[in-house]
Structure 1
Amino acid sequence: MSNSGDYEILYWDVAGGCKLLRNRFESKDREWATYTCVLGFHVMGVWLEGSDGTDINALCRSHSERAVAVADDFCKVHLFQYPCPKPKAPSHRYEGHGSHVTNVCFTHNDSHLISMGGKDTCILQWRVTGGGGAPPLDRSSSVSSNSVSSQEPGP
């Protein structure tokens, strides 16, 4: 599965020589080992009303398949319950970056989430509490951060 520049969800038959599958509805409920596509039937709810298609820069599903993290153009990291196929899905929003967030990734055991900033050049490490990968809608869950940043050498 991949996404195209014109906002299509594409499914591929890798075993058959990387052929594009024309009937995408046959594959829409397929389970994936990882999930990082910003467009997909299981993550339609991460898109805010009025989004232009470029507002979400990255997405990562937790290994437990209970949460999905989103990096956006507005300096925010969002956590959603997974799957979130319905529009306007509730989320937790976290601030910490000084510019757009370029990527997010859960660690192997879902105990932490790593987010990468754009112009702020920050890498933030968020500790996931409440059971490591617990659904973000659980009120007992919280996130803390540590940041590492480096300045580019001046001229």
Structure 2
Amino acid sequence: QTSYECVSLSFHPFGVALAAGSSEGHLVVLNAETGNIITTVRVCGSPLNCLGYSPAGDTLAIGSQNGSVYLFRVSRDGYSYKKINKIRGSQPLTQLDWSTDGSYLQTVTSEYDLTFWDVKTLTTEKSPVAMKDVKWYTHNCTVGFLVGGIWNNRYYPMQALISTANRSAAHDLLVAGDAEGYLRLFRYPCISPKAEYNEEKVYSLAIAAARFLHNDRNVVTVGGTDASLMLWEVVDE
């Protein structure tokens, strides 16, 4: 239980801790097994819309409504956090991913602009094309070289505004939700506008989040307005 309204979540790679970002700018870290609050850190005065641990679990990146990315050093047990850097941006951030080597971040803004960040130099990458072959530890960003097929797909009955996306742990499936409440399952990577998919109309309005569970056999979705939580099973046809 936490007294803050939490708008983002990320599990530590070792499964020991769960980091939550609040709408008031607080980072709340919980024990992943018991749910007990371990620590609470004031990050900024804006909502923490997205966050993610580095592959090694030693750094937590937090994307804020104020456009900045905050970097925290994480102890080996996942329970202690210390702010080490801040990368300034200007547009509200909504999604975030680490590269597999922990050198880069990719973020998407509320205006669906894709930005790449160099974690070591604390600067943005000026040539996005140079990032085309970077391998990503997660793929929660709704915009990117490997997820273009979820936009302007020729099989959509109407143009879709993608609100959430998530790649499976096996890197072979991609789930995407849109502003009209549709949940779609694609093969990953999803590059072609002719990419085929399975679809369900889940909510009346936007899907706030869709995530694979660790076994890739289940997907959890959250409604953006009705707050309903749904559990889905991925089955072979």
Q: Shorter-chain-normalised TM-score: which range?
A: 0.7 to 0.9
SS of equivalent to 2:147 = helix
Q: What letter corresponds to residue 47 of structure 1 in structure 2?
A: W
Q: What residue number does 2:173 align with?
A: 67
Distance 2:194 2:207 in 1: 21
SS of equivalent to 1:45 = helix
Distance 2:165 2:193 in 1: 16
94-103 or 118-127: bigger deviation: 94-103
Q: What residue number does 1:45 align with?
A: 149
Q: What residue number does 2:211 align with?
A: 105
Distance 1:48 1:82 in 2: 17
Matched, 1:26 2:146: no
Q: What letter corresponds to residue 136 of structure 2 in structure 1?
A: W
Kindly indicate whether structure 1 or structure 2 has the higher relative contact order, using CA contacts under 8 Å at least 6 residues apart.
1
Q: What letter corresponds to residue 94 of structure 1 in structure 2?
A: E
> Could you tell me whether the CA contact under 8 Å between 1:9 and 1:40 is conserved in 2?
yes
Q: How many residues align?
A: 128
In structure 2, relative to structure 1, the CA distance for the partners of 1:120 and 1:5 (3 Å cut) is closer
Matched, 1:56 2:147: no
Matches within 5 A, 1:1-155: 1-16=106-121, 18-48=122-152, 51=159, 55-130=161-236, 140=237
Question: Gaps spanning 5+ residues in structure 2: where?
Answer: 1-105
Distance 1:117 1:7 in 2: 20
SS of equivalent to 1:26 = helix
> Could you tell me whether the CA contact under 8 Å between 1:107 and 1:113 is conserved in 2?
yes
SS of equivalent to 1:119 = coil
Q: What letter corresponds to residue 224 of structure 2 in structure 1?
A: G
Distance 2:134 2:117 in 1: 12
SS of equivalent to 2:141 = coil
Distance 2:183 2:109 in 1: 23
Distance 1:123 1:81 in 2: 24
Runs of 4+ in 1 over 6 A off after TM superposition: none
Quick one: percent identity of the two aligned structures? 27
Q: What letter corresponds to residue 199 of structure 2 in structure 1?
A: R
Q: What letter corresponds to residue 227 of structure 2 in structure 1?
A: T
Bigger strand share: 2
Normalising by structure 2, report the TM-score.
0.51
Distance 2:229 2:179 in 1: 16
Q: What letter corresponds to residue 12 of structure 1 in structure 2?
A: W
Normalising by structure 1, report the TM-score.
0.75
SS of equivalent to 1:10 = strand
Q: What letter corresponds to residue 117 of structure 2 in structure 1?
A: W
Deviation at 1:90, TM superposition (A): 1.3
113-122 or 64-73: bigger deviation: 113-122
In structure 2, relative to structure 1, the CA distance for the partners of 1:123 and 1:9 (3 Å cut) is same
Deviation at 1:112, TM superposition (A): 0.5
RMSD, aligned CA: 1.7
